[in-house]
Structure 1
Amino acid sequence: MKKSYLLFLVILLLTGCAQSTEEQGDKPIEEDNVTEEETTDIETNEEEEAEPLKDDKELVLENAEKVIASLKDQNFEELSTYVSSEKGVLFSPYAHIEDDAVTFKQEDLLHFFHSEEEYTWGARDGSGEPIKLIPSKYYSEFIYDASYHQADEIVYNPEQARGNTIKNSKDIFPESQVVEYYVKGTEENGNMDWKALNLVFEKNSKDEWKLVAIVHDQWTI
């Protein structure tokens, strides 16, 4: 009688364990996956956060601001990064660019302020005397001769000349975009002492807008 009772208990225990194991195996496995709806929301948010592409005008104006800052700080190493490696940068003391205008290669700008070589940058208005200056002197007289970082006007692709000199940058660089920084004259000088700096940009072979000319402008006789 005792043996039968013990055998019954053993069978009962074994049966209970088997049922418990089956019940656990029947439970669905929870998946830690992002649903399709959640994935779509994430992709949508990433698209919304992406910055819109800038047009040519925005890109040119941004580059012009960086160029002006580099000129102001006399940081020609920084300036060289915005200059065309294919054409270099042309310097003109007046709005009308001459055929023999001085052009610096991109790498030559690194030594701009240390160069003692005298260049002939053009002819002086009025006297016709050759403008023979070392680069640092030319910078003071015909590049950053006014507070262009605080310009009174910034004009994109100016159509009209400020003075009586004919502008021809579009003839020299027909595919270019020009940004003019204008500083007005003073009353004591009859507003005739105005200054302007024209930054000429052209696309390179990589479709990037690069500086190809710095054209100074002022009242001429």
Structure 2
Amino acid sequence: MDQIHRKYELPHTSRRREEIEWSIHYAFNAGDRTLPRVLLVGDSICNGYHAQVRERLLGIANVTFWASSKCVTDPDYLRELEFILEEYPLDLIHFNNGLHSLTTDRAEWEAALRNTFRMILDKLPGIRLMWCASTPLTDPELTAQAVELNAIGARVAAEFNLPADDLFSVMNPLDRKEFWCDKYHFTPAAKELQGDAITQALKPFLNTTGNADPEAFRRGTETGPDGALN
């Protein structure tokens, strides 16, 4: 497939990379073509909830996820994303970017997000694309920044008539001491709630009866990066 990410790169970005930049990418049931495939895009929060979403979609859809520290304004963001988009046939993309963008120039972030949506829809005509709001934090000032970015993201998503998954509103009423394990990240109980909410948002957009035996898709490997992977 032709690489088109350069067409959508910002001509300039003031974004400075973090001291540690990282990227995590898993494709589950990689050889299966009988079920639709969902791509979850996000950051460490996505890395936290992908297992819960995958478990709930067993027998309904296969899951790929890409979690990265990169802001959409990073010069390499679209290049990495395009590789993920090309790897397997996709039916639905659940997209988030924001918690690594709290201090990013707002105009640049909005322009880059808009370009990212354009690239996805251009690269994969007919793809179902869903915007997901970033989650709140334990720090009120940082949460206010997340609210600001979420408002921009929701506005851009509306320009493209994209459905929105308001994960912020699901998590925000919860007790910070009970459901957060640090400033950004969540306890296992919170991840279960996120898995429920995201799955509920995704299911209406999946063309499947969901009658497949979930056990047939609970396949693992002994050669995962940390050993056996179920």
TM-score with structure 1 setting the length: 0.22
- Larger-gyration structure (1/2): 1
Higher relative contact order (CA 8 A, sep 6+): 2
TM-score with structure 2 setting the length: 0.22
Of Structure 1 and Structure 2, the greater strand share is in: 1
